Structure 1
Amino acid sequence: MSNKPAYKRILLKISGEALMGDLEFGISPKVMSFVAEELKQVVAAGVQVALVVGGGNIFRGEGLARAGMDRVTGDQMGMLATVINALAIQDAIERVGLQARVQSAIRINEVCEDFIRRRAVRHLEKGRVLVFGAGTGNPFFTTDSAAALRAVEIGADLMLKATKVDGIYTADPKKDKTATKYDELTYDNALDQRLAVMDQTAMVLCRDHKMKLRVYDMDRPGALISIVMGDQTIGTRVHA
């Protein structure tokens, strides 16, 4: 590893479920503090950081749609849940001494900014951590797709997906003890094998724009800064 960061600008995708920690519902203050401290190390290294956050710890529109709710209404409620999480992450980041901004894909000006690409890039250039909420602002699109879209829009050098396992496996390692981990994959490999990396829309967008992806265990202390500094042994690398 070099003493200089391997990436200038990154985008980190965190699921809503990851924010629950050991809770059954809601937001874990312990997880929020951990994420903020991990980000502080990365910002201190001179790396520009953006995040996209999910909302599954509060509400999943797709689940209620299967139970009979209108899918568009359910997805709109899910978008609002991601804004709640984004505001919580902003608060945790600011409590460790960093500056943060939340930008929403839907208009909710009383609590955060609208997403404007040029303004987003300017925030990053000023060293602020940028948190994107409300997904893409459209129903039927996941926050994985939002993360891929924002990563491409802001010109990120690397997109990271923080999960509960240390990479991509041939099967769910919690259910299949024979599952083996991939150190490296192409998007075409992942799509052909239908690996549960991200939804297919997100993977195709990353592939077509040659966006590098790293899937790693977010609970591992120091993993994020190690990846940013060039460690190629953590998680699974996915590329075009």
Structure 2
Amino acid sequence: MSDRSPKPPRQERWDRRMEVPLAVASATFLAGYAIVVLGHGTLSQAWLDLCLAVALASWAVFVVDYAVRLRLSGLGPLRFLRTHLLDTVVVLLPLLRPVRMVSIYDRVQRRHDKPRLGLYARVMTYSGLTVALLGFAGALTVYRYERDAPGATIRTFGDSVWWACETLATVGYGDVTPVTPIGRVTAVGVMACGLALLGAVTGSFSSWLIQAFRREDEQGDERRPPGDSPGAS
């Protein structure tokens, strides 16, 4: 069960102060990780070490933010973990760190009196961004561990992107599949996220269509002369 109580003022101020640094750390982690994976064999070891250090530094920002918010919340560790499950998972799993960019953007938009996008448009937009970020991060992770594995079918980053797309879409052609333990664990996570996020997009789009048709019917009833029914001759 989530904690619905208001945040302490100090934690609220800290959250606002860290919105931009966390967004930058998310983008920096994704960029550094991408360069480390894609630059393997082409960039010098010094550049790869530098990018790895940048990615680790961005992870340290998440750890510090998590520890400070745990301290300011006044909650016990277990209760804080239950009420901040996404933050906990993001700290532990590098694959999900880019998703922080979407959640931070959503929090910034919620502070406006009127969001720029409607409810259904926000759900579809944020779900689409999350799918794109997760797909890219998942493709990087799988490519990193699969490219040199014995018996691997994912040899290029293009193969990995194709695998990520068909996995997120729950198609699963089976032409390319991960064979390493880390690759398969990543595949399970990508499949679960793909089902959840695409289901959210499909449900929101269906609800939007139903509401649009309902508004059209209501407007048609208002314009129809009194006593004139759709079936009247």
TM-score by length of 1: 0.29
TM-score by length of 2: 0.29
Determine which structure has the larger helix proportion and give its number.
2
Which is bigger in relative contact order (C-alpha 8 A, separation at least 6)?
Answer: 1
Name the larger-Rg structure.
2
